[in-house]
Structures are given as structure tokens and as C-alpha cells.
Structure 1
């Protein structure tokens, strides 16, 4: 029955689904998709950032490193997780885990759900811009397979800092953009209340980004979104990971790095042409 039901969702509808408090978080998927997950904390420089979780685990017997930007399922959890807005130490923790994965030849899987990096004074004092830039540089040449999955909001450089990957996927009702529709409307229209209109113009849905070849795959969600059936959404992610990990692990590091380089050069050229 579900496959026969067609519901036309606008870009703004998808923004609201992606932001829903009931939307499954990175830890929800980690618990369902992976075995024997061990969380590792701290950036070995300043401290631990609870907006980013990461560690090692197994996926169907394959040792993997898993990193996710973590929101909360309620207001209390969101405050503890800084509403999924990482600071510099969060990105440095992620990079530490990625370099560890490279050393031990483990694939890296990232889950992205953030409105953007934290832009408060603490972030600036501790160098969040530099931390993001370093992640972009290091991920571009990381000598292990990388798969990034946008599971909710993929906002700005805060999302991109975990998305320089061999394959970038989006859940069907997630969004991925350079800034929020409200921010776009404030800049372009001088009126943040026109966010709904801005969302349509920005082309931020999974369908749009797949058409532009910015992402590589869209993972279908259950009717009502992933929040309606976490089990089914997790199985869809698991099925896609199973195919992709076997394929990527079968490639040489030289092949992975070459394809990764040209993948993002192609995206850069597309953006240059549009501008």
C-alpha cells in the first residue's frame, strides 16, 4: 500500500521534516546499524565536544570508524549537545578519529545533521574556521574509504567538514545547503520571513542535489519520514552500506584518492559555471 501512495512535498516541507525534534539522531542510527560501538572522546588539545560523537565499531564484521554530528531528542538533550552545532574541538576530535582510521585501515562513515558550526565567541577563540578548513584538506587525501550520510540538516561548512568523502548520500527528506533558508532570505530579500520562498530557490533537497551530481545517492525513507519508522530507515542505510563498503574496500587507495579528487573538482567546476 505504502508504495502506491504519492505525496508531493515542497522544499519547505522537507526543511521541517529534516529539523523535526523526533528525527532520528546519529546515535540512533549507530545503535541500530553497527555492532560493538565504543565511543572515543576528546581532541587531545582542548576537550570533548558533545555535538560530535565518534568511535570504533563493526559493520557486519568489518571494523569501521563512525563519526556523527549529534542533536538531541528533546530540549534538555539539545542543550547538552549544543543543538548539533560543533565547536573547534569537535572537528578536531573527528579528525583525530579519521587519522586513527587511516592508520588502522578502517573505513570512515560519517552521519551529518547540523544547522552549521557553532558561531559563538568560544568557536572563534578556539579556531573553528581553521579546524573546518583542516578537515577539508585532510579528508581530501585520507587513505581509507569515506562514506558520508546527511540524515537531517546539512548546513554550511559545519556539514562539509565531515562530507569530503568518496560517496555522499542523503536520506530522502534531509537537506544540504550553504546556509539556512532563513539566512538566505535575510541576505537576498532582506526578510527572513521569506524562508519558505528561499527554500524553493536554493535547491536543497536530495532530489535536486542528486540531479546536480553534488551527492551520489538518495536513501528512501518510510512514509512519514525516518522518524516514523527508525527500524526501516536503519535497514535502508545498512543495505546501502553493505554494497558500498565491499566495493570501496576492493579499490586501491590510489584509485580512491584519484576519484575523490576529481569528484570534488567536478563539483567545484559546476559551481564556478553557475556563478
Structure 2
């Protein structure tokens, strides 16, 4: 009977050893899976950090683009207000002599355009045109801030091609509007001088009227391009914000 009890105890001991080894293997597998999950969480955390940094940078771009569009708005106001009775009279004479239905009475109403796109409010006060014009000229020579480029872990996020193209397009638009204002001032002086001297040539005035209309169309295209660039930046920000929320939810 004692021998039978010993054999039975040995059998139970062997079974307990097997169960213990199985538990150890399961524990090791669980620890390996946990380590892998921790590593994955670190990677996801790094990706989240990169997206958040990119989102901050794009918001900065959006802020700068909004400042630019306000400068453009002030520039348009400056050009529109830079007129007098003699210029208006000269334009009316040109249109009357041509005999065509040409609307040169005003430039594009960029305020309405920006209100429709949601960039400004109806009661937003405008800065003085001279201040906006000087600010616009100063932005041409400004250097890129160190915050424009940053790094996160091994993934270094610099200026993307889209951002560089956006910056280049914005500068082109600013330069085009400055050139447009200069050309409109020259046109005003020209029309004023020929009206004062009485040297009115129908063909020449017709060409000047067409040039004025093209200048107005050029201003319209510049304003629409600036608004489209702002829409691109807003779309990018929405996408980055959505990705950041998804990663946060996953964590």
C-alpha cells in the first residue's frame, strides 16, 4: 500500500512538473507579445508626434497665408481708392468713344470673395492700405523661421514639396499684385496727361481700355489663386487632425 501511494505521488509530481513547464512557456509567450505591443505603441506614439508637429506647422502656414490674403485685401483697397474725378472722367470718355459695353468701373470685390470662403467676417475692420502695402512688401524679403523645419526621432519632417510650391506661389501672387498697382498708377497718369493735353486717339485709348480690363482680370485671378491655396491648407489641416484623432483613439 505504501509503495502504491509513492507511485501515485510520483505520477502527480510528474503531472505538476508538466503543468508548470506549460505555464512557463505560456508566460514567456505572453511576455514576448507584451514586449512587441510596447514596441508597437512606441512606434505609434512617434507617428502621432510627427503628425502633431506637421499639423502645428501647417496651422502656422495657414496663419501666414491668412495674413497674406489680408495684405492682398488691403492692396486691392489701396488700388481701388487710388483714383480721382479726372481718372473716372477719362475712363468714361474712353468707353464712350469705343462704343462697347466694357465694365471698368471697379476691380474685383475681394471682400465678398473672402467672406464667401469664410476667411473674414462682415464686421472685420480693415487695416490702413499703406500699412498693409508696406507689410506686403516686407514679407517678400522675410526669411524662413527655424520653426519651419523640425525633426521627430528617426523621421525628419522638412518642408514638403507642396509647402515650398505654396510659398513660391504666394510670393508670385504678391509680386504680381505689386506690379499691378504700379501699372495702374502709370495708367492713371497716362490717361490724365492725354486728357489734359487734349491728345485723344481712339485706337490708343481702346488699347488702354483693354489693358485696364486685363489688369482687372489679372487681379481677379491672383485673388482666386490665393483663396484656392488657403483652401488647400485647410484641407491638409483637416486630414492631419483626423489622423491624429485616429491614432489617439487606437492608443
Alignment TM class, shorter chain as reference: under 0.3
More strand by share: 1
* TM-score (normalizing by structure 2): 0.27
More helix by share: 2
Bigger RCO of structures 1 and 2 (CA < 8 A, at least 6 apart): 2
* TM-score (normalizing by structure 1): 0.26
Larger radius of gyration: 2
